[in-house]
Amino acid sequence: MEEQYRQILIQIGEDPDREGLIKTPSRAAEAMRYLTQGYRQSVEEIVNDAIFTETHDQMVIVRDIEFYSLCEHHILPFFGKAHVAYLPAGKIIGISKLARLVDIFARRLQVQERMTVQIAMALEEVLQPKGVGVVMEARHMCMMARGVEKQNSKVTTSEMRGIFREDRPTREEFLNLLHLERNV
């Protein structure tokens, strides 16, 4: 991968042997490995033994989970916040695992629409809850720094499963809770 980055530098008209760029191919390759580590992770290894039997039957929401991903169309960053909820059906998951689920799918070449669905599907598979809701808000550098250059644009996607899709009051409760005062 380092050699490919070296060739990219040459192709854009740079000298990869100049002082400021000598280590750039190595750093860029390391950064790319980090930003795509989701390909080398699985939901099973991340969730591990963090599923617990519990009678709690009210909505669980983790809001404002920061994520960073790469657009598969331009390999440019998109970043934002994920809001993940589920309605337990006898099992709960360690709350940090919800953030880790987001990261597994964010650390791949992605489109936001697919990533939203993948997070919901993964949570549904490991917990079998009554329902899952995922809302993602992101800013896309491929839209902000090139093309239409709309720096203030934000993309919102959602995936509702189970009772979140079938029962309007449940869905509305989730969406209303996302708009609570965020100065906690």
pLDDT of res. 180? 63
Q: Catalytic site residues?
A: 71-74, 112, 140, 142
According to DSSP H, which parts of the chain are helical? 2-11, 24-35, 43-47, 95-106, 112-127, 141-144, 163-166, 168-178
Q: Where are the domains of the chain?
A: 2-35, 47-178
Work out the burial of residue 180: count CB atoms within 10 Å of its CB; fewer than 13 is exposed, 13-18 middle, 19 or more buried.
Answer: exposed
Residue in 81, 64, 58 with CA at minimum distance from that of residue 163: 58
Average pLDDT along the chain: 94
What is the average per-residue pLDDT within 97-124?
98
Residue 177 has pLDDT above 70, yes or no: yes
Other beta carbons less than 10 A from residue 85's beta carbon: 27
CATH annotation of 47-178: 3.30.1130.10
Residue 115 has pLDDT above 90, yes or no: yes
Residue 147 has pLDDT above 50, yes or no: yes
pLDDT of res. 142? 86
Residue 176 has pLDDT above 80, yes or no: yes
Confidence of residue 181 (pLDDT cuts 50, 70, 90): low
Confidence of residue 183 (pLDDT cuts 50, 70, 90): very low
